[in-house]
Amino acid sequence: MHVFVRDWLSANHVLLRSRDGHVLVDTGYVQHAPLTLALVAGHRGLAGEPLAKIVNTHGHSDHVGGNAALASRYGCPIAVPAAEAPLFAAWDEKALLYSYADQSADRFAVDETIEPGSVHVWGDLEWRALAAPGHDMGALVFFNPEHRVLISGDALWEHGFGFVMPHAIDPRALPATRATLDLIASLDVRTVIPGHGEPFADAAPALERSYARLEAFEADDERVARYAAKVMFSYSLLHRRRFPRGAPAGLRAGSGLPARPQRRRVPDDARRDGRDDRRRPPPLRRDSPRGGRPRPGRERGGLTPKPG
């Protein structure tokens, strides 16, 4: 298994290796598709071997944006959560939040659907597909019970979870988010591979932080709305790389963001990779490209499960 840690515009990719065919979970944002292709094809990725399948945790643009380019290059099928397949078939950009949130994605064909509760063998490991609604009502997470590894998408990050819609827009979202956190808490997860941010050990502190955020959201629907709007606006800035012309002067100052998004390099010694935790079966190593063109010598490690 190899984890490509990306940024907030492109979700992480998880390459599940197998002699029977390699599977890639999530493909980043369309704007970064050239870099995604280079990383997946590189020496830490396929290294000249074919890609057997693309799998998506959910349908948001930062998780499916490389689907079309990768499928075109490798001729591989694309599998999406069953609940979202009709949206892709109709290419409903509003329901998928592309036009709604000023985002983009190249259209692609869905070849397979993944039902909650189904079991799949990817990368010589057994993965259970579990419904994880909230941030996206059709989302799935993938859990390997043998090594207690969770590919969580945006259902759980180390410091929270993906934005949710306020009750006024979708009254299902907050209760579904709580149900998803409860599900993850019941799994006895050892290692979490989130949709954004570094993989991390011990889900309990992350769940505690997520429950605290959720309780604050449940108490104040306006807070939920403000947070969702802030996330969508910030993402649009990252996509467009500038503030819109004519934007009020106070908007830029209030956002806390520069006129053009700046890249920030995180020192290696500041990365939380938990290498000294012997309870975890895989050592955590990762790629951390932050956008732009791939640079020789900048790719890093992977996450390789070993028997515990």
Mean pLDDT of 35-50: 95
- pLDDT greater at residue 52 or residue 241: 52
Tell me the residue range of the domain where 87 lies: 2-270
Would you state the structure tokens that stand for residue 291, as one six-digit string? Answer: 């956008």
Predicted confidence at residue 231, as pLDDT, reads: 75
Count: domains in the chain: 1
pLDDT at 1 over 90: yes
Residue 175 located in a structural domain: yes
Query: Cα dist. 261→33, 80, 241, 264 in Å?
Result: 19, 31, 6, 10
Predicted confidence at residue 7, as pLDDT, reads: 84
Query: Could you tell me whether strands 191-194 and 200-201 are parallel, antiparallel, or unpaired per DSSP bridges?
Result: antiparallel
Residue 234 located in a structural domain: yes
Dist CA 10 CA 37 (whole Å)? 13
Q: pLDDT above 90 covers what percent of the chain? A: 63
Residue 170 located in a structural domain: yes
- pLDDT greater at residue 74 or residue 252: 74
- pLDDT greater at residue 295 or residue 231: 231
Q: pLDDT per residue over 116-138, tens digit each? A: 999 999 999 999 999 999 999 99
Q: pLDDT per residue over 85-124, tens digit each? A: 999 999 888 877 766 555 667 899 999 999 999 999 999 9
Residue 294 located in a structural domain: no
Predicted confidence at residue 185, as pLDDT, reads: 98
Residue 307 located in a structural domain: no
pLDDT at 283 over 60: no
Residue 177 located in a structural domain: yes
Residue 33 located in a structural domain: yes
- pLDDT greater at residue 8 or residue 49: 49
DSSP bridge pairs for 140? 131
Sorting pLDDT into bands at 50, 70 and 90, what band is 295? Answer: very low
Question: What's the CATH number where 20 sits?
Answer: 3.60.15.10
Residue 275 located in a structural domain: no
* Mean pLDDT (the chain, rounded): 81
Mean pLDDT of 178-183: 98
SS3 annotation, the chain: CEEECCCCCCCCEEEECCCCCEEEECCCCHHHHHHHHHHHHCCCCCCCCCEEEEECCCCCHHHHCCHHHHHHHHCCCEEEEHHHHHHHHHCCCCCCCCCCCCCCCCCCCCCEEECCCCEEEECCEEEEEEECCCCCCCCEEEEECCCCEEEEECCCECCECCCCCCCCCCCCHHHHHHHHHHHHHCCCCCEEEECCCCCEECHHHHHHHHHHHHHHHHHCHHHHHHHHHHHHHHHHHHHHCCCCCCCCHHHHHHHCCCCCCCCCCCCHHHCCCCCCCCCCCCCECCECCCCCCCCCCCCCCCECCCCC
